[in-house]
Amino acid sequence: MSKYKFIDLFAGLGGFHLALEELGNECVFASELQYELQKLYAINFPGTPIVGDITKIPVNEIPAHDILCGGFPCQPFSQAGKRLGFTEDRGNLFNNIMEILEYHKPKYVILENVQNLKNHDEGNTWKVINEKLSVLYDVKEKILSPHQFGTPQHRFRIYIVGRLKNEISTAPLENFKFPEPQHHECNIKSIIDESATDFMHLRNETRNHLSIWQEFIDELYKHGGKLPTFPIWAMEFGANYEYEDLAPAFQTSDQLYGKKGKLGETIKGQNINESLSYLPIYAITNKNKKFPTWKIQFIRRNREFYEEHKIWLDKWLPKIRDFENSHQKLEWNCGQEENPSIFDKIVQFRPSGIRIKKPTYSPALVLTTTQIPIFPWIKLPKQSLAEGEIINGRYMTKDEAATLQGMQRLRKYPETIPAAFKAFGNAVNVDLVKSIAQKLLSHEPNRQSINCTSAKCV
């Protein structure tokens, strides 16, 4: 494969750099807004010029290149964010990409973003991006995840590739195909280092929450029940406030007074705000007069579940009364088992609840330390234990997160665990990008070997 020159925009930890460099290409320019990541990039890729704010660099000062790479900021389009898209400044950074493409006309473009980009604003955001790129490039896109190719991480992202149109062909990607997803049996244990000592320890409170929810599971099966397919919202156990026809926020305090709220507590508020304080946090919303169908179904099913099991649930419920809201929810994503246990599964504390999943692949790495995956079964090295600490269970380490993203080859990661996971959560997956780039850069038969195809190359 010929050696191409590429630029790495919104570079972060350098996922695109790693992928393309391993294919024999040369990075001639990089940009990254965060100063700490700039410093790390210079350490990991010495000799590559890196700048900060790409919007402050005139396009004619960017070196000529054959490939433009960029994981342009995804927060404006993410389901986890405000989803403002092009109305937010960071969303407009796509226009900076277009300015560079229009000036330098590199032969290839490879972009990555959250999968929600495709459906954002009812598809209008992607329509604008595709139309702008398609003026110069033949464009293809696909939503892929590393777990589809054997890497134990569930992380769907949209990958966008383009090939410069020319007088010979306006559809040079006509025969290009993305790597085809395969059925892989992933095992998270393949990336775990049980001898690791550099990890975030589980708090006693966290261990207690897991033990109490395990008690819930044990009692359920002891009494002939099974874990339901819907998420468990324990706040609905014992509740009877009205919710189907009119959301509580649009009811009067008289309508709510005397009813049962979260965990069966009697509503005694003297005004609507006081009354709403007795309800689960998800029931307080005033966005719409009627709850969405999915929420109505979850509330109904949890109340039915409580009525079926209230004899033993009433004895268990006081144990979670002081849990924060999201910890009073359980999402069991493991199917049915004879003797289900939390302690041989991957655990993640999410805003939507405590999620339990099989130890196959990790959930997508996210930016907050509270959502780092927990491996409860791991036996901790004795030298890592604090006094009185239980020997089993810890959070994922920085090294393990790096391996999931294909970045174990980096010389240096961010120093702290929060900074590292934030960076890994924003990064592109090296192995998947490499697989896509390899197909893209080698799909043309009889391609002449050249150093730089940009219109600005000399």
- Catalytic machinery residues: 74
User: In angstroms, rounded to a whole number, what is the distance separating the alpha carbons of residues 175 and 438?
Assistant: 14
Task: Read off the amino acid at residue 401.
Answer: A
CA gap 122, 111 in Å, rounded: 21
| Calpha distance 407→38 (Å, rounded) | 16
φ, ψ of residue 242 to 5 degrees: the values are -75, 140
Distance between CA atoms of residues 322 and 319, nearest Å: 8
Classify residue 87 by burial, with Cβ atoms within 10 Å: 0-12, 13-18, 19+: exposed
CA dist 77 and 246 (Å) reads 31
> From the CB of residue 322, how many other CB atoms can be counted at a distance below 10 Å?
9
Residue 260 per-residue DSSP state: B
**Beta-bridge partners for 162:** 109, 139
Whole-number Å distance between alpha carbons of 144 and 234: 35
138: helix, strand or coil: strand
SS3 306: helix
Query: Which whole-number Å values give the CA distances from 341 to 210, 271, 334, in the listed order?
Result: 10, 44, 10
> Distance (Å, rounded) from C-alpha 443 to C-alpha 51?
32
β-pair type (5-9, 26-31): parallel
The Cβ of residue 89 has, within 10 Å, a number of other Cβ atoms equal to: 11
